[in-house]
Chains A and B, each alone.
Chain A
Amino acid sequence: MRVVRAICERELWGYLRTPMGYGVMLTVLLIDGILFNVWAIGDGHRRSAEALEVFFFVASGPTVVASVLLAMHLIADERQRGTLIILETAPLSGWQIVGGKFLAALTILGIIHLLSITMPALIYAYGRVSIMHIVMGYLGLTLLGAATLAIALCASAFAQTSLIAAITGGALVVVLVCLHGVAQLASPPMDSVLSYLSLIHEHYRPFMRGVLSIRAMAFYISLTLLALLVAARRMEWRT
């Protein structure tokens, strides 16, 4: 665990010592703020629970994009700079490397979510929503972000450069998001399978409404673990 913490701390410093971490955080918060004002609040006639639901819906986009941006460099950049050899020649398992890096990116994502809480707090203060609605919304947002981070981290483990990792990871996420649309064109039972694999539509909606969905939680956690497992295996694989 000490080793995972060391890798996590190193990555966190990496984010916070360079403009990249702050850039991603500020951009996400800015976009969240704009979307909150334009979509969630709108002309002010929306019911507060509905406004909160819309906020969590619009916040999913920046979260997904931020996750890809935060994870793209995690391993590919080390490979590009030649520092991956430090990890490859240390007595580390693939899980320790991947785990440390994933936790660092998840922490940054958590900080972004923490800073964005002012927006739901406004709805809470001036409207009628339950705390649990906000908690469930953020739980869903975190689970979605974690799954996206894991997919992008997995892409980073295979890519030679951060750019390739971003393109590959982004493409994978887009495919998973679009599966819902594809499912509507497919016939049974394929439509159910594709719909179930859809990253946002099928699983994120209950959280937007403040509902805890165990099925959706299981989906996001399984997807996260699967992507991390593949990344860890890649790190242990030697040519």
Chain B
Amino acid sequence: MIDVMCLGKSYDGTPALTDVSFSLRPGERVGLVGVNGAGKTTLLRILAGASMPTSGSVTVFGADISRDREHVAGMVGFLPEVPPLYPDLTVREFLQYVLALRGIETTGTLIDVALHAVDMIPASNKRIGTLSLGQRKRVGIAQAFVHRPKLLLLDEPGSGLDPIQLDHLRTMLRRLHGITMLISSHLLGEVQETCDRVLLLHEGRLVEDISLHDMRQRCLMMLDVVSSCDAAIDVLRAIPECHVLSIMNKSRATSEIRIVIPKKMRTALLQHLITSGVVLEGYRADPTELGDRLRDVAKGRMPACA
């Protein structure tokens, strides 16, 4: 179990993370999503032990990261956005070195398993300096999990990969059973394909912690209201599951109200509006995709709706 409690981090007084709290269950795959500067890399670096929090606590399988950094480091594997590689070493030599740094006697088996998982067996004796970007990324991923960590932290693992390599990466990540993963990504499709849950960071704050299943149960509706807009808003705000996003005047008589509601409530909501005296010129429902929703939250157009 990984517990992050009220985590804060600031650089020279500028907050990078503020009051971030969440938990990861063993074996869970969680996506960490947010725009640039949201605090994703800072959070991953703290979990990896490369940076220390300013406030709050992080516990990784019972060990506090501030008090027992070395022990935590033994349980964690980390891939930074730019894979840390030595160009003068071959792929196999590099993984041997990574294992040696963790005090693991190199039997070859761990390395072979990791190389097989990232499909790098044919290039295992090539110097890293001669590899393509995609191959380097795969070696970077291999170094993150070659020692069989309990927690795997991947910072933008898909960046710089072509669609075929991305597909391979997803398959590979799905193959890593039993490892708790936190995957930061701009590629929202990647998160949808590989994760069970999404954490959305915005300006250093955790604004959404939601399972993909729950997210898919919601939809965006645009209601064209002819009668008094205020009355419609009052009716909508009285429904706890409904989140009003925006109100826009379409013409003198019509206003468009954007809301997010659970998909199953759409019909009931329309009936409720009509019985409450709200006159609708029309409505549209949009099965909002995760990417759209996250972009809206990041742009401040959508509230954090848990």
Instruction: Convert B174-217 into 0s and 1s, putting 1 for each residue whose CB lies closer than 8 angstroms to a CB of A.
Output: 00000000000000000000000000000000000000000000
In the complex formed, the residue of A with least CB distance to B9 is A239
The size bracket of the interface on B is 20 to 34
Interface residues of B in 26-55 (CB under 8 A from A): 48-52
A88 with B49: CB separation less than 8 A: yes
Main secondary structure of the interface of A (DSSP, over half): helix
Tell which of A83, A84, A87, A89 touches B85, judged by Cβ atoms closer than 8 Å: A83
Report whether A85 and B78 are in contact in the complex, using a CB–CB cutoff of 8 Å.
yes
From B106, which residue of chain A is reached at the shortest CB distance? A6
Query: Could you tell me which residues of chain B, from 196 to 242, have a CB within 8 Å of some CB in chain A?
Result: none
B49 touches A92 (CB 8 A): no
Stretch at the interface among A11-19, A67-75, A218-226: A11-19
Q: Is A234 an interface residue (CB 8 A)?
A: no
Q: Is residue A7 within 8 Å, beta carbon to beta carbon, of the partner chain?
A: yes
CA–CA, A45 and B27, complex, Å: 80
Contact A89 B100 (CB under 8 A): no
Most chain A beta-carbon contacts within 10 A, residue among B69, B82, B84: B84
Please state if A3 and B73 are interface contacts (CB–CB under 8 Å). Answer: no
Quick one: given A17-B88, A91-B70, A93-B70, are A86 and B49 in contact (CB under 8 Å)?
no
Cross-chain contact of B82 among A82, A86, A91, A239 (Cβ < 8 A): A82
Q: Are A13 and B85 in contact (CB under 8 A)?
A: no
Within 8 A of B (CB), among A128-157: none
Q: Is B101 an interface residue (CB 8 A)?
A: yes
Measured between C-beta atoms, what is the minimum distance from B17 to chain A in Å? 14
Q: Which residues of A sit under 8 angstroms from B101, Cβ to Cβ?
A: 3, 6-7, 86-87, 90, 92
Closest residue of A by beta carbon distance from B73: A91
B86 contacts which of A3, A83, A85, A238 (Cβ < 8 Å)?
A: A83
Contact present for B73 and A86 (CB under 8 Å): no
Chain B residue at minimum C-beta to C-beta distance from A96: B101
**Contact residues in B for A6 (Cβ distance below 8 Å):** 97, 100-101
4 shortest interchain CB distances as A-B pairs: A6-B100, A91-B74, A238-B52, A90-B101
- Hey, which bits of chain B sit against chain A, CB under 8 A? 11, 48-52, 69-71, 73-74, 76, 78, 80, 82, 84-86, 88-89, 97-98, 100-103, 143
Instruction: Please list the residues of chain A having a beta carbon within 8 angstroms of any beta carbon in chain B.
Output: 2-3, 6-7, 10, 13-14, 17-18, 81-93, 238-239
21 A-B pairs with C-beta separation under 8 A: A3-B103, A10-B86, A13-B89, A17-B88, A82-B80, A82-B82, A83-B84, A83-B86, A84-B84, A88-B50, A89-B48, A89-B49, A89-B50, A89-B73, A89-B78, A90-B73, A91-B71, A91-B103, A93-B70, A239-B51, A239-B52
